[in-house]
Structure 1
Amino acid sequence: MIELDHFIVSSRDKAASAGQLAGLLGVAWGEARFGPFMAVYLNDGLTLDFVDTDQPFPVEHFCFRVPPQEFDAILARLQAAGIAYRSKVAGPVDHEVDTQFGGKGVYWNEPDGHQWEMLTVSYARPT
């Protein structure tokens, strides 16, 4: 089996970006053991490693599949933080939850522009 171990996320302020995401997701974060990274510990085997750069970088899209009860907790943290979210990947900010794939889903952008998606049922995998 192949497992993704980490993904490097470019940022202008790695501590602010990592801290915001970790707080919303309710996971641990901190300085990585090696290199110039600030790690967000998504689960026992995967980190998002934020790194500061002054170079241009593309906006990336990251999707988190979570259980329904965790979805509700994360959505409540998004709302409490006043972070704009939407029901469509490229849609307007509507503060709505997408339910068209049999689960729940929302999208939001972090300060550097990266797009986060959270869903309860994967539409990318065959059932």
Structure 2
Amino acid sequence: MAITLNHTIVAARDKTASANFLTELFDLPSPKPFGHFLVVSVGSDNPVSLDYAEVGEDEEIHPQHYAFLVSEDEFDAIYGRIREWGLQHWADPRGAHPGEINHNDGGRGVYFQDPGGHYLEILTRPYGSGGGSAS
């Protein structure tokens, strides 16, 4: 059996807002409740779910990074919504190039945050796949 990632838990102050943010931005099916989680499924060949869990006000959320490989058309649509919604975004993970995208490995990529403070990234070419330089 090939090993694949099946799901991960995403901490959120408001799991509904965070899950809906992702489904609306990425044009995905609505989140589904599962126990105390709100589940967002991404991918078609080997779907992975992001299981949003609400944490209490006294619990610290440690921002995580979630990167999504998307097609060129999906990048155009998602990046269009990022701009339309006025979301702060960067070409790099350190935020040194605000309002820009990168062209790493001959593709395109951009970083932004979800309502819970997690760092999201969309990219059209996997890192190390060749082409252009990192920016």
State the TM-score, normalized to the length of structure 2.
Answer: 0.86
SS in 2 for 1:20: helix
* Number of residue equivalences: 126
SS in 1 for 2:79: helix
Gaps of 5+ in 1: none
Match of 1:27 in 2: 28
Q: CA deviation at 1:95?
A: 1.2
Say which of 52, 62, 82 aligns to 2:86.
Answer: 82
State the TM-score, normalized to the length of structure 1.
Answer: 0.91
- Give per-residue Cα distances to partners, 1:56-111, cap 9 Å, x unaligned: 12110000000111101100011111111110101246211101321000000112
Give the Cα separation in 2 of the matches to 1:80 and 1:95: 13
Match of 1:51 in 2: 53
Moved over 6 A (4+): none
CA RMSD in angstroms, aligned pairs only: 1.8
Give the Cα separation in 1 of the matches to 2:105 and 2:98: 18
Q: CA deviation at 1:43?
A: 2.4
Give the Cα separation in 1 of the matches to 2:64 and 2:104: 23
